Chain A
Amino acid sequence: MMKIVKDGLLTSVQDLGRTGYQKYGVIASGSMDTFAHRIANLLVGNEENEATLEVTLLGPVIKFEEEAIISICGGNLSPSIDGEKIKMWKPIFVTKGATLSFGKPQSGCRSYIAIGGGMDIPPVMESRATYMRANIGGYEGRSLEPDDVIQFRQSRPYPRKIQAEKRSYVEMDWAISTDLIPNYSPRPVISLIKGPQYEWFKEDSQQSLFSTPFKVSSQSDRMGFRMEGETLSLKEPRELISEAVSFGSIQVPNDGNPIVLLADRQTTGGYPKIGQVASVDLPVLCQMKPGEHLTFKEMTLAEAQQALLEQEHSIQLLKRSISLKQKEELK
Chain B
Amino acid sequence: MSDVPLLRAENIHKRFGDEQVLRGVSFEMDTQDVQVLVGSSGSGKSTLLRCINRLAEFEEGEVYLDGTPTSEMDVNELRQQVGMVFQDFNLFAHLTAVENVTLGLRRVLGQSKADAETRAMRELEQVGLADQADSYPAELSGGQKQRVGIARALAMDPKLMLFDEPTSALDPELIGEVLGVMRDLAEGGMTMLCVTHEMGFARQVATDIMFLEGGTIVEHGPPEQMFDHPEHERTKQFLERLTTLHGDHG
Are A and B subunits of one complex? no
